[in-house]
Amino acid sequence: MMINTDGTKPIYIQISEWIETEILNGNFEKDKKVHSQYKLAEMFNINPATAAKGLNILFEQEILYNKRGLGKFVSTDARRIILDKRKNQTLKGLIQEVVLESERLDVSEEEVIEMIKLVKGDAK
């Protein structure tokens, strides 16, 4: 993954989202250590304090936990927390945008559902 330093999304948020995605993909398993702020800083060529901020967001959300002197580890409930968060925030926001745009374009609910089915079929 590349960090977008020119975008509007803060780098520390991009770091936290990258770690979440790695957890969802099974690359960081529960009770396993995640990269340190220094390793993340080296990987993405960013300031260690920025990487630490991304890690701390996940700690505050109970996706990660601390082992004193050892670093941050993936919590047992991390996957569920991430899935719930992304479903209730990201996906819901995208759906709201689709609904608003379909209303502006006078596209029926049935047409939107059909489009979703077509896209979902293409993704398989």
pLDDT 10s digits, 43-63: 999 999 999 999 999 999 999
What CATH number is given for 11-77 in this structure? 1.10.10.10
Q: Is 35 helix (H, G, I), strand (E, B) or coil?
A: coil
Tokens, residue 57: 């967001």
What is the model's pLDDT at position 26? 96
What is the model's pLDDT at position 90? 86
What is the model's pLDDT at position 89? 87
How far is 26 from 23, CA to CA, in rounded Å? Answer: 5
What is the model's pLDDT at position 5? 74
What is the model's pLDDT at position 44? 94
What is the model's pLDDT at position 3? 80
What is the model's pLDDT at position 124? 59
Q: With a cut of 70, which residues of the chain have pLDDT below it?
A: 1, 123-124
Tokens, residue 85: 């968060």
CB 52 within 8 A of CB 37: yes
Any residues with CB less than 8 A from the CB of 116 and at least 6 apart, and which? none
What is the model's pLDDT at position 1? 65
